[in-house]
Amino acid sequence: MQSFRTEIENTGNNKKALVEKDIIDLEKKIRQFREGKIHEEKFRSLRLARGVYGQRQQGVQMIRIKLPFGKVSAKQLLRIADISDEYSNGNLHLTTRQDVQIHHVSLERTPELWAKLEQDDITLREACGNTVRNVTASAEAGIDPNELFDVSPYAKAVFEYFLRKPFGQELGRKIKIAFSNTDKDTAVTYIHDFGFIPKIENGKRGFKVLVGGGLGAQPFLAQTAFEFLPEEKLIPFLEASIRVFDRYGERASRHKARIKYLINKIGIDEFLKLIKEEEKAILVKVFPIDSSRTETEIQFRSQLPDENPAIDKDAFFVWNKTNVFKQKQAGFFGVYIKIQLGNISTTKVREFARVAKLYSDASDIRITINQGFLLRNVTAEELPFLFSELSQLGLATPGFDSVGDITACPGTDTCNLAISNSTNVSVELEKVIYAEYPELIYNHDIKIKISGCMNACGQHSLAQIGFHGSSFKIGTNVVPALQVLLGGGTLGNGKGRISDKVIKVASKRGPDVLRTLFDDFEKNAVEGEYFNSYYDNQGKDYFYQLLKPLADNSSLKETDFIDWGSEEKFQTAIGVGECAGVVIDLVQTLFFEAEEKLELSAEAFGNEQFGDSIYYTYAAFINGAKALLLDKEIHVNTHHGVIADFDKHFIETKELKLESSFKDLVLQINQNEPSKQFAELYFIEAKEFLQAVKQIRQTNLV
C-alpha cells in the first residue's frame, strides 16, 4: 500500500479551494498549450469543460456563464456586465439554456475573468464540452399557481451534485437536463437527455422521468423511463445513468455520440437494466433533497411616490395582458421582459438591475428559455412604475413568448457551424409581425424559432414555424437560404412533436414565407383552430405547394445573393464546431491522460472522496488500454469496446498476463461499494497495469 500513500503525499496536504484550483489549472494549461507542450485537441477539450468556446472569428473566444435553472441576482448581473465591459465588447447574450454568453474574449484573459466572476459565485465550469451542462428549469418555478411544488431546489441539487464529478468530465457527448414545473412542460423536457416533470403519488413527491431526447440534425423525442420516481432516487438514478453512458456511449463518431443514440440502439429496457447493474457502485443510494425552504422571504421595497407615473394607458394595458401574470403568492405578480434574440448591452443591463432592485425581488431574477427575463414578487401598485421605467429603457415590448417573440441562436455572427444568418432575419420577421399582424402578440399557440444551421441551437425542430440556415447554388453563385419547417411543438406531460422539413427558400424571402402562412391560416382555418391542427388537416404537401412559388429561383434578384446583415456577396464558411469537443486519439496523449487520472485519483483519496477516486482510477485503466489498442491501429468507439477488444488482442494472446481478464479487472468498479479499501486496491492495480502497458509500447517501439 506504500506506493499509493506516496502518491497522496505528492499531491500536498494544503489544498486550495476547488475553484481556485480550477482557475490556476486553466492558466497553467493555456501556458503549456502556447509552449507546444499540450496537443491542440487535448487543450480544446480542457478549455471547453471550463466554459471557453472557440468562435467564428479567429483568436478570440466565447465565454459561457453557467447559471443553474436561470437564477441570477441583480448583483450578479452587474458583475457579468462589468466582466463584459472589461474583457469583451459590452454585450450579453441570453441563451435557450438559461446561460449568459459573452464573445470576443482573449484566451489568455479567461482565468482572470473567471476569478472575478467567482467573487459573486458565478461559474464557467462545465458550461461547454462533453460534460453535464447547465441544468435548466421552468422560469416560473416557485411562483406558478398551477405547479404541484417548486422544482428549483431539485434543479439546484442536481447542478451542485454533478459539478466536477469525474464520471461527467469526458463523456462521449454533452448531457442536458431539464425540470418542468407543471405538465405544460414549459422546460421542453422531451428534447433533453434527461427530463423531469413533478408528480405526487400517495402524498409523496417525485418525478416523471424522460430520457434520450435531443435536437441536432437528427432530433429524437425522449422516452419515458419512469412514470413516477421518488424524489430521493432522482440523483442516484442520474448518476447511474451517466456512468452507463460514459461506458457504453459512442466516442469515435461525435454525430452518433449523444445518449439518444445509445438508447435507440440498445432499447430503453436494456438501458434501465444497465443502470440497475451500476447501483452498487454509485456514491449514494438515496439522496434526500431539502425542499423545505423553497420560497425566498419577500422583502418589501421602499415606499412608492405619491403620484403614479405618466404612462401610455393603452400600451400599459397591452403589456400587462401579455407580459404579466398572477403568482401563487397572493398580491404578487411575475413580469416577463422580452429581450430581442437574447441580446442586451451592458449599459441596459445596469439600468435593468437598478429597476429590478426598486420593484421586484432582485435576489431572484430568472433567465427564460426563450431568451428573456422574469421578475418576481412585483406588487400591483408597483406595476405602473415598473412599466414606466422599463419603457424608458426600451424593455417594455409586449408579446412575451408570443408569435412575435422569436427565438434564435447567434448564427453566423459568431458560430463556426452556422451556414447563414439567423439574427438579422429574425429582426426582420419580428418587424413583419408587429407591423402587419399586431394581433398575433396575443397568440401563444404559434412559436417561431430559428437556427443558423441544422444543429438546432435555436430549437427550430420544436417550433410550429421553424427555420434553419442553409444555402444552394445558382450556377457558380451561392444563395443564403432558409429551410422551412412546420408542425413542431409541445404537447405536455413530456410529449412533443418534431417539425417537418417542408421547403427551402432564399433567406431574403423569409418575411414572405410568414406573410403567406399567416394569410392562409387566417383565411382558411376554422375559428379557434390551432396552427398544428390546421397543418395536420391540410397536410405537408398542401404547405409545400403553398410556399412553392417562393422557392422559384428563376426570379431571384441581386440582393438575394447577399445575406441579411451583410453587404457582400454570400459564401459559405463553415468551421469545426465545438459543441461537444473533439475525440483525442493520440497514443502519447492517452498515456499522459492515464497518468493524470491516477494523480487525480490520489488527490481525491486524500480528500476522502473515495467514489471519485475510484472513477478516476477507472478512467486511467480505460485510457491506458485504449492507448495500447491504438498503437496497434485498433480503433474502438466505446469504453465497453475498449474492454472487450483489449481482452481479445492482449489478454487472450498472452501478450499481457493478468490474473483474470481485463474485463474482470476494470469492471470491479460496479461490483464493489465505493469504500476506502476498494479505492486503495483499485488504484494500485491500475498503476501496475499502466506500467505494464507502457512497457509493452516501449518494447514495440524498439
Distance between alpha carbon 430 and the CA centroid of its chain, in Å?
Answer: 26
pLDDT at 37: 76
pLDDT band at 460 (very low <50, low <70, confident <90, very high): very high
pLDDT at 573: 58
Same domain, yes or no: 279 and 255: yes
Which residue carries 480505460 as its cell?
Answer: 622
User: In angstroms, what CA-CA distances link 287 with 158, 234, 297, 611?
Assistant: 10, 7, 26, 15
Same domain, yes or no: 543 and 412: yes
Segment among 54-58, 121-125, 304-308, 572-576 with least mean pLDDT: 572-576
Q: In percent, how much of the chain has pLDDT > 90?
A: 71
Does any domain span residue 103?
Answer: no
Does any domain span residue 67?
Answer: no
What is the Cα–Cα distance from 499 to 465, expressed in whole angstroms?
A: 8
Same domain, yes or no: 429 and 524: yes
532-576 per-position pLDDT tens digit: 999 999 999 999 999 999 999 988 999 989 888 887 887 765 544
User: Residue 467: beta bridge partners?
Assistant: 450, 484
pLDDT of residue 347 exceeding 60? yes
DSSP string of 365-388?
EEE-TTS-EEEEEEETTTHHHHHH
E-strand spans in 396-499?
A: 407-408, 448-451, 465-474, 477-486, 489-492, 495-497
The residue range of the domain holding 644 is: 587-701
What is the Cα–Cα distance from 518 to 540, expressed in whole angstroms?
A: 16
pLDDT at 7: 38
pLDDT of residue 587 exceeding 70? yes
pLDDT at 357: 95
pLDDT at 68: 97
Same domain, yes or no: 468 and 532: yes
What is the Cα–Cα distance from 295 to 153, expressed in whole angstroms?
A: 10
What is the Cα–Cα distance from 428 to 434, expressed in whole angstroms?
A: 10
User: What's the whole-number mean pLDDT along residues 612-641?
Assistant: 92
Same domain, yes or no: 134 and 274: yes
461-506 per-position pLDDT tens digit: 999 999 999 998 888 889 999 999 999 999 999 999 999 999 999 9
What is the Cα–Cα distance from 323 to 318, expressed in whole angstroms?
A: 8
CATH number at residue 531: 3.30.413.10
Q: DSSP state, 465?
A: E
573 or 11, which is more confident: 573
User: What's the whole-number mean pLDDT along residues 6-23?
Assistant: 53
pLDDT band at 635 (very low <50, low <70, confident <90, very high): confident
116-172 per-position pLDDT tens digit: 999 999 999 998 889 999 999 999 999 999 999 999 999 999 999 999 999 998 899
pTM listed for this prediction: 0.90
pLDDT at 8: 37
Which residue carries 397568440 as its cell?
Answer: 443
What cell numbers appear for 55 in the block?
468562435
Segment among 325-334, 528-537, 589-598, 618-627 with least mean pLDDT: 589-598
387-426 per-position pLDDT tens digit: 999 999 999 999 999 999 999 988 777 777 778 888 899 9
Does any domain span residue 526?
Answer: yes
Query: Which of the listed residues 290, 325, 348 is the one where a domain comes to its end?
Result: 290
CATH number at residue 636: 1.20.120.330
What is the Cα–Cα distance from 489 to 495, expressed in whole angstroms?
A: 9
pLDDT at 53: 80
What is the Cα–Cα distance from 344 to 96, expressed in whole angstroms?
A: 15
State which amino acid sits at residue 347: T
Is the torsion defined by CA of 602, 605, 609, 615 positive or negative?
Answer: positive
pLDDT of residue 10 exceeding 50? no
Same domain, yes or no: 159 and 279: yes
pLDDT band at 46 (very low <50, low <70, confident <90, very high): confident
pLDDT band at 21 (very low <50, low <70, confident <90, very high): confident
Query: Which of the listed residues 332, 361, 393 is the one where a domain comes to its end?
Result: 393
The three state secondary structure string of 88-152 is CCCEEEECCCCCEEEEEECHHHHHHHHHHHHCCCCECCCCCCCCEEEEEECCCCCCCCCCCCCCH
User: Residue 497: beta bridge partners?
Assistant: 489
Q: Cα 679–684–689 angle (5° rounding)?
A: 125
pLDDT at 583: 35
What cell numbers appear for 530 in the block?
390551432
448 and 429 Cβ atoms separated by less than 8 Å: yes
What cell numbers appear for 569 in the block?
456577396
Does any domain span residue 20?
Answer: no
Phi, psi of 587 (to 5 degrees): -60, -50
Total domains in the fold of the chain: 4
Burial of 701 per CB tally in 10 Å (0-12, 13-18, 19+): exposed
Does any domain span residue 6?
Answer: no
Which residue carries 382555418 as its cell?
Answer: 525
511-531 per-position pLDDT tens digit: 999 999 999 999 999 999 999
What lies within 8 Å, CB to CB, of 135 at 6+ separation is 68, 69, 155, 156, 158, 159, 177, 178, 179
pLDDT at 272: 97
Does any domain span residue 249?
Answer: yes
User: In angstroms, what CA-CA distances link 627 with 78, 395, 595, 648?
Assistant: 47, 55, 12, 15
Torsion of the alpha carbons at 504, 506, 510 and 516, rounded to the nearest 10: -70
CATH number at residue 334: 3.30.70.3340
E-strand spans in 232-381?
A: 324-326, 332-337, 343-345, 365-367, 373-379
What is the Cα–Cα distance from 86 to 105, expressed in whole angstroms?
A: 10
E-strand spans in 452-601?
A: 465-474, 477-486, 489-492, 495-497, 500-506
Helix (H, G, I), strand (E, B) or coil at 210: strand
User: Residue 319: beta bridge partners?
Assistant: none
What is the Cα–Cα distance from 352 to 78, expressed in whole angstroms?
A: 10
Judging by DSSP bridges, how do beta strands 477-486 and 500-506 pair with one another? antiparallel
Which residue carries 416560473 as its cell?
Answer: 140
Burial of 101 per CB tally in 10 Å (0-12, 13-18, 19+): buried
Same domain, yes or no: 521 and 430: yes
What lies within 8 Å, CB to CB, of 1 at 6+ separation is 680, 684
DSSP string of 489-516?
EEEETTEEEPPEEEEEEEGGGHHHHHHH
What is the Cα–Cα distance from 364 to 375, expressed in whole angstroms?
A: 8
pLDDT of residue 185 exceeding 60? yes
How crowded is the C-beta side of 498, counted as CA atoms within 13 Å?
14
User: In angstroms, what CA-CA distances link 526 with 324, 343, 438, 540?
Assistant: 29, 37, 20, 18
pLDDT at 297: 57
Which residue carries 466505446 as its cell?
Answer: 638
pLDDT at 95: 95
412 or 581, which is more confident: 412
What cell numbers appear for 227 in the block?
412514470
Same domain, yes or no: 371 and 415: no
User: In angstroms, what CA-CA distances link 398 with 329, 334, 341, 348, 442?
Assistant: 24, 14, 14, 18, 9
Provide the mean pLDDT of the chain: 90
pLDDT of residue 178 exceeding 80? yes
pLDDT at 291: 84
Does any domain span residue 297?
Answer: no
Same domain, yes or no: 442 and 533: yes
Which residue carries 444568418 as its cell?
Answer: 421
pLDDT at 14: 37
132 and 269 Cβ atoms separated by less than 8 Å: no
Same domain, yes or no: 479 and 386: no
Same domain, yes or no: 258 and 136: yes
Does any domain span residue 23?
Answer: no
pLDDT of residue 700 exceeding 90? no
Angle, helices 531-538/540-547, rounded to nearest 10 degrees = 90
Same domain, yes or no: 382 and 412: no
Query: Which of the listed residues 226, 256, 290 is the one where a domain comes to its end?
Result: 290
- Burial pattern 554-588, b for ≥16 Cβ within 10 A else e, equals eeeeeebbbbbeeeeebeeeeeebbbbbbbbeeee
